[in-house]
Structure 1
Amino acid sequence: MKKGRPGTGPRKRTARSGYVEGATHLTRGLRIVHEDEAILVIDKPAGMLTAGLGGPGDDSAFAALKSHVREQARKRGTKLWIVHRLDREASGLLVFAKTETAYEHLKEEFRSKKAHRLYAAAVEGEFGGSGPASTGTVQSFLWEDSRGIMHSIDSPTQLRDTPARGSAPMPAVTHYRVRKTAHGRSLINVRLETGRKNQIRVHMQHIGRPIVGDRRYGASTDPLGRVCLHACELGFTHPQTRHPVRYSSLPPDEFTKLLGRGTGDAMAPATASVVPASTKVTSWDEVAGWYDQLLEDRGSDHYEQVILPGVMHLLAPKSGHRVLDIACGQGILARRLVKAGATCVGVDSSPRLIARAKELGEDGCEFHVGDARELGSLGLAGEFDSAACVMALMNIEPMAPVVNASAALLKPGGVFVCVILHPAFRSPGRTSWHFEGAPAPRPTRGMERGPSRSRPPSEERIARRVDAYLSPDASKIVMNPGEAAHGKPEVVTMTYHRAIQDYVRTLADAGLHLTALEEWVSNRSSQPGPRAVEENRARREIPMFLALRAVRARPFA
């Protein structure tokens, strides 16, 4: 392999573990796979830290690479930037940046999940179900204890107190594909949707398939004297050329030998669409009465005046159309669709809301209790002209099974519409109202309901503060804050933040082509007061909801 500038098209470097053609061999089996003016890609051996504490005795990959770069440049003070890490116990590909510009570019690639990372692992136990090509998804929340060990739980509400070390539980999603199963072990490929500490290792333990050799996370055997996890593919947009590059390192042959004869195919891309049995439903059944009263009895002005008219416009239902209403609640949209001449099938995970929907339903409405991520298992006969998921997709994790199943149920040319809180401006815990031009007044949580009592100067401006956007997150939503404040138990649901590009990518992966993106503002107005004009201006400028419409691709003639 030649060093120097990367090519202008997609490139792939392949290395057999134990030898990399043309690579520079450094200490303890560390190998440089590619190096140019901006980046340095390495194949790290198991047992080596990605980065240590520095100083004498630091035998990490980072320390060895810093020495290498200094020798190449023949000057002290030459810098190197850590972009991401591999566990000490794992082996495989890592990229480091040689300039600050390259570092910022690559960090953004990884933070926004544009970077491609594929792992190979040998795990204890055999996978049943659909055979060697089976796929699966593990979704849970990970938290770290005081010893630095990660733990997996199905819901953050299972952990009553914040862990002694680290932050609160964070959502984690791992996809896997089974490549080979034999002799009580399996060889799998793994793709991360999130990048938590020890994520693959703890998720394999979570489903009862610990990685061979991983005693820390439940393994009972260690035949190779190492954790059998290898980062086998790494791809990203090159920070200098802006062209895609991809590097690969075949996993050690010993992984496959653990399963007996045959090499298998460890390099196929990992895909997943199966929802594991351990995945919990984020159900609104506990707050069904409150939700029904909010929308049905009292009415919600946002729902009635903004969301429903917008959804009806995007769906454009016609007489005879068959519509699927996903997370239908008590059937408000379904009834409106029937009045427009369509028939509607509603699905919701809350038995109480479905019971209410049936009570209020009209001819042409049909309702089912079911998990939106398992639509295919509900026996919904026939195809649909359109499907809608209104103010619910942000509360469902993972969302890909919902979108994939919806696409499968649509006719070619069928329409899928979803509405969510705008992830850029209205994400709970990440965005807030902000005042400029005067000392900060009291918090403005009640801004949507009317003017603040404080009297600001006329030059004060109201803006929406955004503290984070691209990284995924989960927030606990207390559905009964008033009752909880008076000592009653909290009723909690979860909302999941995702960037707009994540929604668009999920639609595209399901074969749904985006045809409309609309941003809807609140139509509320403040009561007369010193802040009313500015509050109303801010409402009209900063959208509250994001609506997406996509169409299922028609087959080629």
Structure 2
Amino acid sequence: MKPAHKPLQFSVLENDTLLPFLAKVFHGKSRTGLKQMLQNGRVSVDGKVVSRHDFELNSGMVVVIGKPASKPSVSIPGIKILYEDDSIIAIDKPAGLLTVGTEKEKLNTAYSLLSHYVKTENKSNKIFIVHRLDRDTSGVLVFARSTMERDILQEYWHNENHEREYAALVCGKVDEPKGRIESWLKENANLQVFSSMRPDDGQHAITNWELVQQNDDFSLLKVTPETGRRNQIRVHLCDIGFPIVGDRRYGNGQNPIGRLGLHATLLSFVHPQSGKVMQFESPVPGSFIRMVK
């Protein structure tokens, strides 16, 4: 009988960043090997799984190296898998790919591609929708592996018991370093969402934003929604006069990057089985950054 796997625990004695810290405690291990350890979900800091190699460590933090919780990052047609275990799958969805099917498109969706992927391992495997990203929005998207996990995660979403961050490339030069947008969202007969300033006249929606970088023509914002309404970020940024680049529905159609300038950069929530805080990240697309240099 094999001995049980015991996690390795290290105390941080001085401020550092994660990859150099790991290089010190695993002397001789290659940078590639250390990064693979991060990608496989083996590293947690103060109880939170961390995948970023440049994560900042402060004195007093505790770094734990556990058993691999997922397969290495795998690429399948149209999708990059960030993490998977028996309960969840986190992916980096590209722009232009639907989350789930429509009457016109049923096969080329994140759901369909992932369903095929899990069935290659076992034909009885299934995945379940937890939340969605618009077709033209890219970034972190999570699916459940069972109805029980789906129900738990959807309850988190319903109660806003999770954290989300987005990168938004908007038209124009914003004149404030940060802001908060609050309104009540409604839909018209064409299913277009719009804001009402009358309390309770629609679904309450709150969006926080912070300026990251800008030039005279475009601004890159970090957006943190407090609520998760349909098209919320797109409508709210248009409301304050800075529509998202490439937004033909709510913006002015200006599109120098050939896609919608909205990307889900971070998603954090409590794992439905282990109780650990899971955090998944996707870097800001290079096309966004180039537009504000």
Q: Same fold (TM over 0.5)?
A: yes
| SS of aligned partner of 1:216 | coil
Whether 1:59 aligns to 2:108 is yes
Whether 1:10 aligns to 2:40 is no
Q: Structure 1 CA distance, aligned partners of 2:286 and 2:97? A: 20
The correspondence for 2:252, drawn from 219, 226, 243, is 219
Q: Structure 2 CA distance, aligned partners of 1:59 and 1:248? A: 24
Whether 1:207 aligns to 2:252 is no
Deviations 1:371-423 (A, max 9, x none): xxxxxxxxxxxxxxxxxxxxxxxxxxxxxxxxxxxxxxxxxxxxxxxxxxxxx
Equivalent residue, structure 2, for 1:27: 77
Q: Structure 2 CA distance, aligned partners of 1:55 and 1:70? A: 24
Whether 1:40 aligns to 2:89 is yes
Residue 156 of structure 1 and its aligned partner are, at CA, apart by 5.8
Q: Structure 1 CA distance, aligned partners of 2:42 and 2:126? A: 21
Could you tell me which amino acid in structure 1 is paired with residue 212 of structure 2? Answer: R
Equivalent residue, structure 2, for 1:139: 182
Gap change, CA 1:51 and 1:57, over 3 Å in 2 = closer
Gap change, CA 1:100 and 1:6, over 3 Å in 2 = farther
Residue 169 of structure 1 and its aligned partner are, at CA, apart by 1.7
Within a 5 Å distance, the mapping from 1:6-405 to structure 2 comes to 9-14=47-52, 22-28=72-78, 30-53=79-102, 57-73=106-122, 75-76=123-124, 78-129=125-176, 134-155=177-198, 169-260=202-293
Deviations 1:413-435 (A, max 9, x none): xxxxxxxxxxxxxxxxxxxxxxx
| SS of aligned partner of 1:236 | strand
Deviations 1:277-315 (A, max 9, x none): xxxxxxxxxxxxxxxxxxxxxxxxxxxxxxxxxxxxxxx
Residue segments in structure 2 that go unaligned for 5+ positions in a row: 1-35, 54-70
Deviations 1:317-359 (A, max 9, x none): xxxxxxxxxxxxxxxxxxxxxxxxxxxxxxxxxxxxxxxxxxx
CA contact (8 A) 1:137 1:173 kept: yes
CA contact (8 A) 2:115 2:126 kept: yes
Residue 100 of structure 1 and its aligned partner are, at CA, apart by 2.1
Residue 12 of structure 1 and its aligned partner are, at CA, apart by 2.1
The alignment of Structure 1 onto Structure 2 pairs a total of residues equal to 238
Within a 5 Å distance, the mapping from 1:448-527 to structure 2 comes to none
Could you tell me which amino acid in structure 2 is paired with residue 187 of structure 1? Answer: L
Residue 220 of structure 1 and its aligned partner are, at CA, apart by 3.9
CA contact (8 A) 1:14 1:247 kept: no
Residue segments in structure 1 that go unaligned for 5+ positions in a row: 16-20, 158-167, 261-557
Greater share of residues in strand:
2
Could you tell me which amino acid in structure 1 is paired with residue 192 of structure 2? Answer: I
CA contact (8 A) 1:4 1:36 kept: no
Gap change, CA 1:5 and 1:191, over 3 Å in 2 = closer
Q: Structure 2 CA distance, aligned partners of 1:240 and 1:148? A: 37
Could you tell me which amino acid in structure 1 is paired with residue 224 of structure 2? Answer: R
Residue 170 of structure 1 and its aligned partner are, at CA, apart by 1.3
Structure index of larger Rg: 1
Q: Structure 1 CA distance, aligned partners of 2:188 and 2:199? A: 14
Q: Structure 1 CA distance, aligned partners of 2:278 and 2:132? A: 19
Greater share of residues in helix:
1
Name the structure, 1 or 2, with higher relative contact order (CA <8 Å, separation 6+): 2
CA contact (8 A) 1:12 1:248 kept: no
TM-score w.r.t. length of structure 1: 0.41
Q: Structure 1 CA distance, aligned partners of 2:286 and 2:127? A: 32
Q: Structure 1 CA distance, aligned partners of 2:292 and 2:103? A: 39
Equivalent residue, structure 2, for 1:334: none
Deviations 1:36-90 (A, max 9, x none): 00000000000111111489852110111111111122x24x3211111111110
Residue 149 of structure 1 and its aligned partner are, at CA, apart by 1.2
Q: Structure 2 CA distance, aligned partners of 1:57 and 1:103? A: 21
Deviations 1:254-278 (A, max 9, x none): 1011112xxxxxxxxxxxxxxxxxx
| SS of aligned partner of 1:141 | strand
CA contact (8 A) 2:88 2:144 kept: yes
TM-score w.r.t. length of structure 2: 0.75
Aligned CA RMSD, in angstroms, stands at 2.3
Q: Structure 1 CA distance, aligned partners of 2:103 and 2:196? A: 35
Q: Structure 2 CA distance, aligned partners of 1:98 and 1:242? A: 16
Residue 245 of structure 1 and its aligned partner are, at CA, apart by 1.3
Residue 205 of structure 1 and its aligned partner are, at CA, apart by 0.5
Could you tell me which amino acid in structure 2 is paired with residue 128 of structure 1? Answer: D
Which sits farther off after the overlay, 37-46 or 5-14?
5-14
Q: Structure 1 CA distance, aligned partners of 2:155 and 2:126? A: 19
Residue 183 of structure 1 and its aligned partner are, at CA, apart by 2.4
Q: Structure 2 CA distance, aligned partners of 1:254 and 1:156? A: 38
